Every structure is written in C-alpha cells, then in structure tokens.
Structure 1
C-alpha cells in the first residue's frame, strides 16, 4: 500500500498508512480494529474454498449424518430433517430459523463468493457489489459449528434409549465447517474492491468518512464514490433500534426460562423440562460437562448479551468519557458469542427428527422454545443494529489525527 490516509471504520481516527511487509496485518492503534490484511494469497483460493464448501454441503442435505436403532428399527436424519420435523410437528417459525442458520445461510454465503468472482471476472458491477454486500450481512449467521455441538449433545441425550451410529453426512458437515473457517478467516471484502478499483486511483486532499461496504476512506458525501452505496454518518436510529430489540428480548427471556422448553414421552409418560431442569438432568445422569455447556449457551450467554449491550448503551447515552476500550471489547465479544445461544434449538431439532414414535417414545418442543428463539434472534439483531462508532463519539482523542498502524 502506498502512503495514504485512511479512517478507522470503528473509532474514526485518521491514520497515516505505510507500505507493510508481506504477510503482516494492520490494526488500529486505538480500537485494534483490523484495517488491512497483509495476506497476498490469490483471490481464486477463496473461489476454490467456496466451491469445496458447496461440494461438502450439498451431500449433507441428502445423506444421513446419524442412524439410531430404536425398537429394532433404524431411523436416520440429515441436515434438513430437524427443520422439516419442526415445521411439520410443531412450529413453522422454529423450523425456518433452524433451516435458515444451518442450511440456507451456508448455501447463500458460498454462492455469493462464487458470484462475486464471476462479477469481478466479467466486470458485472451489480452482481459483484451485491454479492459482497450479502456476504458481509450473512456471514455471522453461519452456524454449522453450533449445529455440530448440537449433534454431540443430542447423541448423549439419546444414548440411553437407542444405539447411535454416525454416518457419512456427519463427516460432510464437519468438513464443510472446516472449509467455512478457512474461507471466513481469509476472505477480505476490501481486497475484492481493491481489485475492482484500487483506492490509489482516488486522489483526495483529505478524508472525513469511511464506506462500510467497500472500505474506502473519502471526503464526506452522501454516497460512496467507488461502490455507490449510501454513506451514513451513523446507522439511522441505531440506539432506538438496539433498545427496542433488547427490551423485547428481556421480556421474552422470562418465559424462555420459566416455561418448559421440551416435552418428552416415554412409555406413555409425559416429562416436561425447562432449560434449567434439563441442565440438572444432565448433571444427575453423570454428564456435568454437557450440563455446563447447555447452562452457558442457553442461560448465561443470553443474559450476558443483554446486560453487556445495556452497559454499552448507557455509556453512550450518558456520555461516559472512560472505558472506551472495555466497551468495545464487550461489543465484539457479544457479536462473537451471540450465535452459540441457538444451541438448544439445534438439540431440539435433531432430537425431534430422530425421536417421533407416538406415545411410546416421542419428543416435542415446549412453549418456551418460541420465546427462547426470540431471545436468540433479537439479541443478535441488537448487536447488529448498534453502531460501534457511537462508543467512541465522546472520546477526548476523537479529533482528527494521524497515527502509525499496528503490525501483527
């Protein structure tokens, strides 16, 4: 990179960038946001990863990842079985949430990488820019890693009732997740836009704003000079939307924890479990590790997300002039940990797909499941709607300045 000025997209300080050694990443000296990825591996590697991900993912839709032997009969489930069973037996909403996060999102994300390369090669601007936009919006909703953990917990839960045999589909899901990790860690949207039109082609005397779509720092304007998307000084109504999502999630968290989340029939007897009673049952069954995972993911994490975001909002609205870095770390942690709360829904979906034998042995989601799904989705939307630039607005060092990049 030639010497130039850029604006940090999070804390908005001006930084003088110097050419970095190959393989080094540049981070903001104040908020530690990654500004530049030093890897110069070919972009086509991302295309190969996306195609490989699809090759592994598509078999998961048809081949079973597990077979259980119950009452001397074999039953199996694939990646879509749980969402289909939820839609058929209890709730279309729950079924769609599971389908969206475990199937549709990975398919769309892999597809957008492929179409972005096609648009770049063919110089088709509309396909190129909207492919990258969809990729940025959906990559946080890919949850195959959580689905794999849900499979493990469902296996433990059913092991006392049936003989469990993993199948080829499980290996495909695992390999898809490995490819996903590599793809998300390597793919930089700004590199694609640099390939489309390098920032060095824009000669600005000064820069005042940063485009969050193509990551070009530029003079203040209503739309980006490179990608054409509207540039907002701050996300519109960010605080109001975040409060609305959080208040609704806080209301739903009560029925999510107080009502029963699952109904289990065994030999004609009905057993109802709340999230907490399910944790206790795992402890009594001699599986404290599984109990701890469910407690953290389904009880501790949703509460922590709500408290953490409320702490950030209070700091913003009361203009606290300290703890900027702490609030930023909390925000990043909330965004990262958010998806793991959906673990209980995956366990329910997998179990209902495998256990549906009328009154002899049956499993259904309880009324808390809808409320719990609402808490998970709303807290994730709250984190997405919060503009992190608001955290730094009252910083004493928020005046324009030039600093050297951190190299990592």
Structure 2
C-alpha cells in the first residue's frame, strides 16, 4: 500500500523525499514558534489560573527545592515549569512570567512534530505536512500558547501518546499509556484519554487473546507513572485531584440539583445546549468546514486506524461537553485538535479527488487555510 502511494505521489509531482519533508517540517516548527512569540504580550502580567494556579506554585517549588505542602489544581504544569524557574535567575517577576510564556510557546510549537507523524500513519509526506501546518497556524492554539497555562504541555503529552499508540511496535503502544498518565498529572481530564485508548486497544487487538492479556503491561505503565504524584497529593492534602475531583464534581452537582429543585433554578451543572454551541464556536475557522467533510470518507472505511479518529472524540465528548457547559471556555476542546488535523486531511483529500487539476485545488485550499487562520487570529487578537 505504501509503495502504491509512493508511485502515485511521485507521478503527481508531490514531495516524497524524507530529507526534504523533515526540512519542511523543521521550517513549519520554527514558523509556528516565531508566530507565537510575535503574538506574545510580554508587557502584560499573567493573570487568573496562569498566575495563582501555576506561576506561584512553580515559584514556590523553585525556591523551596521541593514540592510545597499545599496542592495546586493541575499541578503537573507548574511542577514542569519549576524546572525552568530553578535554572533561571532574575529580580524582576515579569521575567519569570515571560519565561513561563516562552516555555508554553515552545511546547506548542514543537507539537507540530508529533502531529506530523500522526498524520503520516494515514497520509503521505505532502499531506502530513499540511496537517502539521494546520496545527501550527490554528489561531486558537496560537493565542492559548501565549497565556502561560497548562494546555500546551497537556496537548503535547496527549499528541505523543497518540503517536506512540499508532506505532506498529507493541512496545511503543504500551509506552503511549505512560504519556496518557503524564497528561492526567497535568490535567485530570487525561484519565478519559486513558479510557478512550483502552477501548481502542481492545478493539485493535481483539483477535489476539495474548495481546488482550498483555494490556496489563499498558495498565502497569500508566499506574507507575501516575502513582508517585497521586501518593504525594494524598499525603499532602488527602486528595489525589484526579478521581477525587470527579467524585467532588458529582457530589457538588447532586447537592446543587437538590437545592435547585426547591427553587426551580438550576444553579450548577451542565448546560448541554450552551456546551454544544461553544463546541461549535471552538472549531471555527478551519475545522468547522473540514472536519464534517473529512468524516464522510472515514465513516465509509471505518477500520483501524480510521475508527480511532471517531471513537476517541466520541468517548471524550461527554467530559469535554460537561466541562465546557459548566465553565464556558473553548480551551477544553483544544486537546482534540491534533485528531481534527488528521480528519481535516481526509476532508482535503476528499475535495481534491473531485477535481482533475489536483495540485491547483490543493494549493488553493492551503492558501485558504493560511489566510483564514491569520485573519481570524488578527480579529481575535
């Protein structure tokens, strides 16, 4: 199959040189970082979660030299950030904030690399570079990366997990669950990625009883990465901030629902209609067009690895919609963007195949993606 794709691409004049592809990928990566640095507000202090949830916690760790005796929400990002604070010295707190933004920007920029290799599992070099470009230029990802919050590291960990899971070598498949554990440390929602890919694992290896039994290795990797952080959190504050947070959310929703039923006012809990609206808004301007189109060819050939692109977002839709409906913020949807990049390539490929002059149509689509992303970025900025 790969040989046939190579011949078709060569005939069409598409880029197939591995060296040239990696060079272009490096250029896309650099461009992604430069664009993010250009839009970074260096003279504006980090506020809200970026300050109280991450900056102060990272600063305390760097000063104390160990984890403090209090718990910070989503502490994985601040603990990672503290490593950079420890080797950086300045008397100006804004320098530390800009360092926080800089680390976030670089993480977001280099995420185009695993996105490219995920796309490579479905498409040739040329299309995979377009997938990396879509992620590099997505305006919401660009803006989010300049805020100094946890999403860039969280998305990076998830993207690495997906990339290793798609590998044909089972050792890397088991390793992927370590990255989902890392994502869970960064944000508790990462546990739902573990659930989603556990389901996909058993579907992928359902014909091999031995491989199904060997899932215990993947589970062990997940727990080994997660356990030291869970132990520290329980010892420190009596709560693992992962499963405990879900239990807390459910109990809080139940209590508020009981109170609300007396007053006939729902003061807490998901508003699914608003969640759907915000989900739709979050995929503008690129994915709102390309993702629905891309689902057409995927659903027509719903075999591995294609069904991964549908099943993972479907499993994650409920916790994401719940989060979005309670706390209206599009950033809860961003972790799905690497998958949306691949689905978009299916949409682009489906459109291109409808025309005889494929190179021209593909060039028009790429220019449209660049222009639409940059225009939306300027409006949002």
Q: Structure 2 length normalisation: TM-score?
A: 0.29
Higher helix share: 2
Bigger relative contact order (CA 8 A; separation at least 6): 1
Q: Structure 1 length normalisation: TM-score?
A: 0.28
Higher strand share: 1
Q: Which has the larger radius of gyration?
A: 1
